[in-house]
Chain A
Amino acid sequence: MTAAAVTAAGDIRRRRTWAWITAALVLAYFGATYGIAHGTIYTQGLISQAMIFAVLAVSLDLVAGMTGLYSLGHAGLFALGAYTTALLGHAGWNIYLLLPISIIGAGLVGAVLGTLSLRVSGLYFAIMTFIFSLVVTVILQDFAFTGGLNGTPGPIYPSLPSWAIFLGNPLVWTIAVVLLIAVTIVWSIRASAMYPVLLAIRDAEPFAAANGVRTAAIKIGVFALSAGLAGMAGWAFSFSGYISPQQFTWTTSVNILVMVIFGGINTRLGPIIGAAFVSAFPIVVHIDPLVQELIYGLVFVAIIVFFPGGVMGLVMLVIHRLTRRRSGPPLAAAAAGDTAPVGHVEVEATSSPPRRTGSEEYALEATGITFSYVKGVKAVEEVDFRVRRGSVHGLIGPNGSGKSTLVNLVAGRLRPDEGTIVANGRRIDRLDAATRPAHGIRRTFQSAVLVRDLSVRENVTIGLYHRTPNVAGRSLVWPLLPGALRDHREMRGAADTALQTAGLAASWNGARVADVPHGVEQLTQLAAACVGEPSILILDEPLAGLSTREIEQVSEILNDLRERGVTVIVVEHQTHFIFSMCDDVTVLAAGRLVVSGPAEQVRSNERVREVYLGQ
């Protein structure tokens, strides 16, 4: 308790320090804005444009960098905001009312574009959004109400009241505030517990879904948010004079992506640096246009070739070099303390899962399950699979007998062609994977599906996503919410405890998953599944690649889980482990049930010896 109090006190102190630093930065930002608002028209125009592009680049980084949706439609969304404001502003609408209209309008269109990402991904998504940009340009050019090729004049931005006239150009202030809003939202998400979840959607979608993340809804939501920010940029841009279709062509979309990549994708400052460089370069460098384009191209190619992380990647490299001596080698340090302090870690008594009501003997009942990947070839055929509540249940069979298929059917990656699955008294076979954790089901994957760019600890916090209230909504202003920060701290603490229980030395917790050996990945995904405190835990070959000592550790974890009443389903090939650990065992061969029953009976079964065990 005292330890917790100390951490809380330290947390409050850190928060105070950060609050002061943030306040100082915001003050400096407004000071700079004051300077710019009193600058020459040239400076004002140059920096305003760079700031608007910074809003676009930051909003694109949210979808491209964090969520892996490479959009080439941001110029179109930008145009929506700008034209909405220009046309309705001329019709006499209040320009401040047009701000939320521009944001929501672009956001709704973004939501529609975002749904495309559910059907196509990667390059195809980029092409679809690219076509959206083309269509917007065509509409702007060919319709009379938009002013056609000539464009349309934007509304005049109202001047400041007399008491505020000392601030200078009001448009500069407005754009500065718009950028501040965009940066605050995107940086908040980056600092929140949502960030690992977004990266999981980007790199390890099955893992995200298995932890209760509704990946489809979040992709659409994030894209809509990004589109709204682009619409906001368009609103601010419309006041800068004439707007015309040429300003919003697909080349603008590509330019925004170039800014993000040039500055450093998925970094805080990268998109802003990129926007400043790309939008200011052609204006600041006064030379022959041809030479200018050449130099611009060469600089860009050089950065990408030599520093794929962009400008921020280069900066981080330099910082890393300068601080090299101080920080020890993470891997070597981790390897030295290879396994956890031997000795059994008690699982907290408070963390036992709520016992479900209902007196049924079985936690899971799958009846008459049939499934085919390809028509005519049944991977699983009329399988009955019943698991007693609180038991450890082994699922074995030759390679290709349908074990993983059955696991995926129960965990929701696949849906059965025939048959029913009932978990904890509720029928679940028609629900998708992301809703299964709400029914107490968690699973691990045969080849660990984790986010390689994140640390071991951050990966485990994803397992707490659906137990933490409203992570997605709160992430927009995360650092401003004391409750969110407390939850975040508790998530990290719970992750560390789960990793310790899984038998990993604490030195691994901060290591990037890309740098850890296979066995550590296995224990990490086990910890991520356990931290969610499931009532039914499904483990697909949890021992693959583990050493004898680690296998003993896993055995202890399973015994603990059994004592706490958790039902565990294990797919494994290590028969010694299966028959010493499991209460019941089910054997599949060629997609059909061979036998199911108490471990001892199954072990001595003649058919099992023949098809699986040998000898």
Chain B
Amino acid sequence: MSGEALQIEGLSAGYGRFDVVHDIALRVESGEAVALLGPNGAGKTTVLRAIMGMLRHRRGRIEVAGTDVTTMPTHRIARGHVGLVPEGRRLFLDQTVEDNLRLGGLRLRHDRERVEALLGSVYELFPAVGRYRNRPANALSGGEQQMVAIGRMMMSDPALMLLDEPSLGLAPLAIQDLARALTALREQGRSILLVEQRVDLALQVCDRVYILSGGRIVRESSASTIDAEGRELIDAFLG
């Protein structure tokens, strides 16, 4: 595998008239898992939203698999094989779990077999989601809803996966399942950009780490060297 799944240069983005992140340079190689760590308010979610074209206010250059998506609308970016697990889950709470998942697979609606196969793989990964497939999403607990949100992202079979704190609200065993799932998805050749507060999970899954603070990238490092240096570096930036 070679080439960049995601390449960002000189990205400044924010809300209204104000930049939240400044001059971000970041890349995710094809088949690589990269973590974006940083304190609350550093701008991690803003970076993900900018990549997905969900912020009007953005400057710089964003390329997905060699294609410039900087000015593309969100739906075209999503069709270009980018999936997002958004902050706050954003499920359709009155719809059943399975309908929520099928909505994630809308891009592939003409390929019924593939949708069914993907659905099967989600249920295999999160058995609880499969058990409640016919219940409305709001009947599930917070952690279970988080699993549905991750499953919905997987349903579009994305080559590049953006995850905004997927471990939020998950029990320890469920987090281990999530780590295994992300590792498996990566081994299928997918690329991952992971925003996490759980540094242990990020280091377990990812090859490389960017640390974002005050809207700027202050450090880039491979996950293993961070491990080797101990937690000092992370402690310095994440407290």
**Contact B169–A573 (Cβ < 8 Å):** yes
By a CB distance below 8 angstroms, the chain B residues around A335 are: 20, 41-43, 214-215
A298 within 8 A of partner (CB): no
By a CB distance below 8 angstroms, the chain A residues around B88 are: 447, 518
Out of A399, A447, A519, A552, which one reaches B41, CB within 8 Å?
Answer: A519
| B64-72, B99-107, B134-142: which lies at the interface | B134-142
B230 within 8 A of partner (CB): no
A329 within 8 A of partner (CB): yes
**Contact B143–A400 (Cβ < 8 Å):** yes
| A368, chain B: closest CB distance, angstroms | 22
C-alpha gap A221/B16 in the complex (Å): 38
User: Do A404 and B141 form a contact, CB below 8 Å, given A544-B168, A613-B172?
Assistant: yes
Out of B19, B169, B173, which one reaches A612, CB within 8 Å?
Answer: B173
C-alpha gap A398/B140 in the complex (Å): 13
Query: A599-614: which residues lie under 8 A (CB-CB) from chain B?
Result: 611-614
**Contact A516–B142 (Cβ < 8 Å):** no
By a CB distance below 8 angstroms, the chain A residues around B168 are: 544-545
Give A529-572 as 1s and 0s: 1 = Cβ < 8 Å from B's Cβ atoms: 00000000000010011111110100000000000000000000
**Contact B197–A614 (Cβ < 8 Å):** no
By a CB distance below 8 angstroms, the chain B residues around A547 are: 39-40, 197, 238-239
User: Do A331 and B15 form a contact, CB below 8 Å, given A374-B139, A400-B140, A517-B45?
Assistant: yes
By a CB distance below 8 angstroms, the chain B residues around A437 are: none
**Contact B20–A573 (Cβ < 8 Å):** no
User: Do A398 and B197 form a contact, CB below 8 Å, given A335-B42, A336-B214, A547-B239?
Assistant: no
User: Do A545 and B172 form a contact, CB below 8 Å, given A335-B42, A399-B141?
Assistant: no
Nearest CB in chain B to that of A573: its residue: B171
Query: A380-434: which residues lie under 8 A (CB-CB) from chain B?
Result: 396-401, 403-404
C-alpha gap A612/B171 in the complex (Å): 7
**Contact B172–A612 (Cβ < 8 Å):** yes
C-alpha gap A594/B8 in the complex (Å): 49
C-alpha gap A545/B195 in the complex (Å): 11
**Contact A338–B15 (Cβ < 8 Å):** no
**Contact B14–A338 (Cβ < 8 Å):** no
**Contact B238–A548 (Cβ < 8 Å):** yes
**Contact B170–A399 (Cβ < 8 Å):** yes
Query: A319-352: which residues lie under 8 A (CB-CB) from chain B?
Result: 324, 329-332, 334-336, 338-339
**Contact B142–A338 (Cβ < 8 Å):** no
C-alpha gap A398/B144 in the complex (Å): 10
**Contact A549–B172 (Cβ < 8 Å):** no
Nearest CB in chain B to that of A405: its residue: B141
B32 within 8 A of partner (CB): no
A515 within 8 A of partner (CB): yes
C-alpha gap A519/B41 in the complex (Å): 8
Give B75-115 as 1s and 0s: 1 = Cβ < 8 Å from A's Cβ atoms: 00000000000011000000000000000000000000000
**Contact B17–A518 (Cβ < 8 Å):** no
B193 within 8 A of partner (CB): no
Nearest CB in chain A to that of B215: its residue: A335
By a CB distance below 8 angstroms, the chain B residues around A324 are: 17
A373 within 8 A of partner (CB): yes
By a CB distance below 8 angstroms, the chain B residues around A548 are: 197, 199, 235, 238-239
**Contact A331–B14 (Cβ < 8 Å):** yes
User: Do A519 and B40 form a contact, CB below 8 Å, given A374-B139, A573-B169?
Assistant: yes
Out of A329, A397, A545, which one reaches B165, CB within 8 Å?
Answer: A545
**Contact B214–A398 (Cβ < 8 Å):** no
**Contact B238–A549 (Cβ < 8 Å):** yes
Nearest CB in chain A to that of B22: its residue: A332
| B233, chain A: closest CB distance, angstroms | 13
C-alpha gap A520/B40 in the complex (Å): 7
**Contact A546–B176 (Cβ < 8 Å):** no
B54 within 8 A of partner (CB): no
Nearest CB in chain A to that of B176: its residue: A614
User: Do A517 and B143 form a contact, CB below 8 Å, given A399-B170, A547-B239?
Assistant: no
A470 within 8 A of partner (CB): no
C-alpha gap A196/B114 in the complex (Å): 50
User: Do A399 and B143 form a contact, CB below 8 Å, given A329-B18, A338-B42, A548-B199?
Assistant: yes
By a CB distance below 8 angstroms, the chain A residues around B235 are: 548
- Pick the 6 closest A-B CB pairs, nearest first: A549-B239, A399-B143, A519-B40, A329-B18, A400-B141, A517-B41
User: 24 A–B contact pairs at CB < 8 A?
Assistant: A324-B17, A329-B17, A329-B18, A332-B14, A332-B215, A335-B215, A338-B39, A338-B40, A338-B213, A339-B39, A399-B174, A400-B144, A404-B141, A446-B142, A517-B40, A517-B45, A518-B45, A546-B40, A547-B40, A550-B40, A552-B239, A573-B170, A573-B175, A612-B172
